Amino acid sequence: MKIAIIGGTGGQGLGIAVRFVQTGEDVIIGSRTMEKAQAAVDKVKDLLTDVGNLKAALNPDAAKEADILVLTVPLAAQRATLLSIKEGAAGKILMDATGPLETAIGGLPTRCLYLPEGAAAERAQKIVPETRVICAFNNISSGALMNFTEPIDCDCLISGDDLESKKTVSRLIEKIPGVQVVDCGPLERAQIIEKITPLLIGLNIKKTCKDAGIRITGIDPECKL
Ligand SMILES: NC(=O)c1ccc[n+]([C@@H]2O[C@H](COP(=O)([O-])OP(=O)(O)OC[C@H]3O[C@@H](n4cnc5c(N)ncnc54)[C@H](OP(=O)(O)O)[C@@H]3O)[C@@H](O)[C@H]2O)c1
């Protein structure tokens, strides 16, 4: 599977890129500039011995070339970035990790912004209506993703309106050691999923740790509905 990480030069995108390279996917790291995309690719090459078909591209080209996309930009950049890839993203699945955190307006990362569209992932779906948006990777920290020699001790809560797309991304994400994907239901559940992120950041600060995560218990791991 060819996966483009749109805005893959920051902490979250790079971490997801590293993990998907490890699971054997063809990864394209996207950026607004080729220099930054190439620098991110070089970073991954420094970390891993086998990077397969890892490559750098501008965001619109990465979106066109890939089968599946992951969006990892700050909320303030979400709309412009999605508009820049709209054509290439049409008909594809896009996993949106955007956190609606107050930092987007200079506030605290422990507080959520209330968006008129509901969740950031719902906003994404409105901007790229021909793309199947799945809320994913909001609850796994970049630190846990980048600690690539260790399994990740965190579930990946996802939500979206297309069951087949959720099954596709679940199969991909669950190749990452330690991660259980929990399908939380329709895309509107992203309103809850995205609010867990500032909670985890707050716990990192309060408990002086780095990679607080979340596990859902009591569900049948074989039940993929
Ligand atoms: N970091 C975490 O632990 C974590 C955890 C869960 C969710 N998230 C969410 O994941 C997303 C990415 O987080 P991050 O920490 O990786 O963010 P980041 O490092 O601040 O930004 C990621 C990339 O987005 C692009 N970008 C930044 N500002 C932009 C702008 N104004 N316009 C267009 N592109 C811009 C940049 O790529 P180029 O300059 O290369 O184009 C940048 O490298 C956020 O929405 C965050 O809430 C993060």
* Ligand 1 atom, smallest distance to 81 CA: 33
Confidence of residue 113 (pLDDT cuts 50, 70, 90): very high
List the one residue out of 10, 18, 5, 13 whose CA is nearest residue 147.
Answer: 18
Name every residue whose Cβ is closer than 8 Å to that of residue 134 and which is 6 or more positions away in sequence.
Answer: 93, 94, 95, 96, 121, 158, 159, 160, 162, 165, 166, 169, 187
Tokens 């992951």 belong to: 70
147-164 per-position pLDDT tens digit: 999 999 999 999 999 999
* Ligand 1 atom, smallest distance to 10 CA: 19
pLDDT at residue 118, rounded to an integer: 97
* pTM of the shown model: 0.97
CB count in 10 Å sphere of residue 209: 11
43-64 per-position pLDDT tens digit: 999 999 999 999 999 999 999 9
Tokens describing residue 19: 């993990």
* Ligand 1 atom, smallest distance to 142 CA: 3
Residues flanking ligand 1, CB < 6 Å: 7, 9-13, 31-32, 36, 72-77, 80-81, 97-99, 101, 138, 141-142, 197
The bridge status of strand 132-135 relative to strand 156-160 is: antiparallel
CA of 174 to the centre of ligand 1 (A): 23
Name every residue whose Cβ is closer than 8 Å to that of residue 3 and which is 6 or more positions away in sequence.
Answer: 20, 25, 26, 27, 28, 66, 67, 68, 69, 70, 172
User: How do the domains of the chain map onto residue ranges?
Assistant: 2-206
Superfamily for 2-206? NAD(P)-binding Rossmann-like Domain (3.40.50.720)
